[in-house]
A = this chain, B = another copy of it.
Amino acid sequence: MHKLAVGVFLACATASAAMAGEGMWTPDNLPLAQLKSKYGFTPTAAWTAHAQRAALRLAGGCSGSFVSPNGLVLTNHHCVNSCVQQLSDADKDFIKSGFLAKEEKDEIKCPEIELNRLDAITDVTARVKGATAGKSGEAFGKADRAIKSEIEKECVAGNSASKRCDVVDLYHGGIYALYEYHRYQDVRLVFAPEFEMAFFGGDPDNFNFPRYDLDMGMLRAWEDGKPARVADFFPFSTDGAAEGEMVVTIGNPGGTDRQLTVAELESARDHDLIPRLLLLAEQRGMIEQFRSESPEHWRIGQHDLFSVENAFKALRGRLLALQDPAVFALKRAQEAELRTFVDADPARKAKYGGAWDAIANAMDAYRTVEARYKYIEARRGFFSEYYGHARTLVRGTVERGKPNAERLREFTDSRLPSVTQRLFSSAPVYPDYEQVTLGWSLRKLREALGTDDAFVRQVLGTDAPEALARRLVAGTRLGDPAVRRALWDGGAEAVAKSDDPFIVLARAVDPAARAIRSRYEDEVEAIVDQNSQLVAAARFEKYGTSTYPDATFTQRFSFGEVRGWDEKGTFVPPFTDIAGTFAHATGAYPFALPATWLAAKERLDLRTRMNLATTNDIIGGNSGSPLVNARGEIVGLVFDGNIHSLGGNYWYDERLNRTVAVHSSAILEALRKVYGADRLVRELESARR
């Protein structure tokens, strides 16, 4: 792995801001000098390797960690929420009641959760760049995808059930690295509190602090029908961290846009965020009203509403950041500095000078394919589980028959286990809800592409969107996992013969979807990738290789400290306590405490710390990350950032950007005194020794 010296290039343009918490560092490139000077902390190779393997990725989009040698996993409630909902039905609603496996045998398998433990990182830059050298456009994209699939296949070596390999693009093409994971697909639900407690304050308090939430969930990795034995795990700290103490997050930030060009940021602001937000807002109104119709609709819509509201608030924060003239001024200044450096030398100018305009042109090209790409290929027009399964069957059975390197990336050997886990999942599909969401998204498809668009006419025929949705949902058998499995096993031939209405629809859509995907990949993605490599190389030339890459949903370490902040003249202290939880309870959703907490009030030590704020640099995907001290003990569980952290997609503002975590003491106090989870408390305590 290419080693990067410590330093922060972003500081070049923001010399006045302190940068203590900034940085999402790869495990093989921690900012050692900075850590030593700031915190007097020098992680050994063993410390880092241990932390790397004790931390986990939830493949669906979260983080977590082992907290016992028996594969017990700590993450957020909102990371296990979909599993909790999938295991519930109208009679037993674990979202409402919470879930506790009294005994090991009561732990229930989550239908769609996959855990990834990062075992190794290898630099494959030379091999990837060698395969694409001299190519551009379509040929570049094709070669790029092929070499990555080839490297991944070699790495998995036929062992895809327990091994996962991803080629990761760091620094926007500056470095390509092969990430090898141990894959766990037998993951069981161990504990979840009531949703009311996990998400106390609800959407109104989301991305805010002070907070009073117990946003925790516990899973267990099983292997060969037994709890997995693991060598690396984080024991719980006895008391948590003190104000000002250094704390580390090890998690998987999903993505940041800190190194994008100004043209890409403008495109994001004007053409990406706004349409997405408008769609989310409408979806939110639709789901909220659907939920109000009956207790069962309330239950069914819970997870989607959470996701939609969470995304809405996060993207709204990003848009506000990009509307801040100061943020754009910073970005323009950074870009101007780099371009001045490039233009100053004729050789450099010849090599890199055209990259920015090429990316800007690709953004223009993007606008011409954007709506079709999003609605047809990226499925904005087909918001339906049935359709998702149908497309996996239609595409997957065909793609499986192709050589690995020629397949669509999501169907390569390395990725198939995740595909089939979802396809064969026992999670219920709700016809009522499907009909509503599909009908709605078909209306949006027509709105986005136009009534007279040939594709829209092909899909809708003379049907109204709602009528088509009703007909498809009434006629499908894809809600039955056995039917899906039979079609998958039957392969392309069986799928081609199926008259299931969703299969028929997915077959009809596929040519147009593949066509617009190719256009997007060739005319936008390949151009951006190729020219981003040039920008990254120019940046390395000027600043040295002294920074961290944009987030890529791969493991990153962030070093910060427990600290409050100044909110327009008022200091926000870094800790809340359990007393505050009770003080904020009104009895009305989302500020209602569950009966368990009300009953336990007398037993609880109300001075126990509940949540805390730190300066760690995180973003969506970090949810469930362990917050550990210098000794590698759990002092908290990351579950949110404050409102200022949303601009963190574009830059890190040390003054205001804060991570929000559940305090380790609150977790132990609740497990002991509210939930009577003695088995788990014993397991956590014995892990400490």
Contacts and interface: CB of A to CB of B under 8 A. Distances in A.
A203 B323 contact: no
Interface in A420-472: 436, 440, 446-447, 450-451, 462-464, 466-467
Contacts of A91: none
Interface stretch (A289-297, A329-337, A623-631): A289-297
Given A292-B466, A319-B274, A587-B462, A447 B285 contact: no
A286 interface: yes
Given A588-B462, A588-B463, A447 B289 contact: no
A589 interface: yes
Specify which of A205, A278, A446, A590 lies most central, judged by the most chain B CB atoms within 10 Å of its CB: A278
A106 interface: no
Interface in A253-272: 270
A302 B299 CA distance: 28
Interface string A457-491: 00000111011000000000000000000000000
A285 to B, nearest CB: 3
B205 A440 contact: no
B289 A436 contact: yes
Interface string A485-518: 0000000000000000000000000000000000
A501 B205 CA distance: 28
A285 B278 contact: no
A292 B462 contact: no
Contacts of A586: 462
A281 B281 CA distance: 6
Contacts of A319: 274
A588 B467 contact: yes
B323 A270 contact: yes
Contact of A288 (B270, B284, B440): B440
Given A285-B282, A290-B289, A447 B589 contact: no
A285 B281 contact: yes
A436 B292 contact: yes
Stoichiometry (number of copies): 2
A279 B588 CA distance: 24
A447 B203 contact: yes
A201 interface: yes
A204 interface: yes
Contacts of A293: 293
The A contact surface, by secondary structure, is helix
Contacts of A591: 451, 462
A287 B451 CA distance: 22
Nearest to A290: B289
Contact of A285 (B286, B292, B464): B286
Given A277-B278, A586-B462, A205 B289 contact: no
A361 interface: no
B277 A285 contact: no
A451 B282 contact: no
A42 interface: no
A136 interface: no
Contacts of A270: 323
A283 interface: yes
B288 A451 contact: no
Interface in A627-681: none
A591 B284 CA distance: 27
B274 A285 contact: no
A447 B204 contact: yes
Contacts of A283: 285
Contacts of A466: 292
Given A285-B284, A462-B588, A588-B463, A446 B323 contact: no
Interface string A519-561: 0000000000000000000000000000000000000000000
A199 to B, nearest CB: 14
Contacts of A292: 436, 466
A280 to B, nearest CB: 8
Contacts of A285: 281-289, 440
Contacts of A203: 447
Contacts of A464: 588-590
Interface string A577-594: 000000000111111000
Contact of A281 (B282, B436, B446): B282
A287 B590 CA distance: 23
Interface in A315-333: 316, 319, 323
A292 B274 CA distance: 27
Contact of A278 (B201, B281, B290): B281
A31 B281 CA distance: 45
Given A274-B274, A284-B285, A289-B290, 15 more contacts: A201-B451, A204-B447, A204-B450, A205-B451, A281-B281, A281-B282, A289-B289, A289-B436, A292-B466, A293-B293, A451-B591, A462-B586, A464-B589, A464-B590, A467-B588
Interface of A: 201, 203-205, 270, 274, 277-279, 281-290, 292-293, 316, 319, 323, 436, 440, 446-447, 450-451, 462-464, 466-467, 586-591
13 contacts: A201-B451, A204-B447, A204-B451, A205-B451, A270-B323, A277-B278, A278-B278, A282-B282, A282-B284, A286-B286, A293-B293, A451-B591, A462-B591
> Ordered nearest first, which 8 A-B pairs have the shortest CB separation?
A285-B285, A285-B286, A289-B289, A281-B281, A464-B588, A462-B586, A282-B285, A281-B282
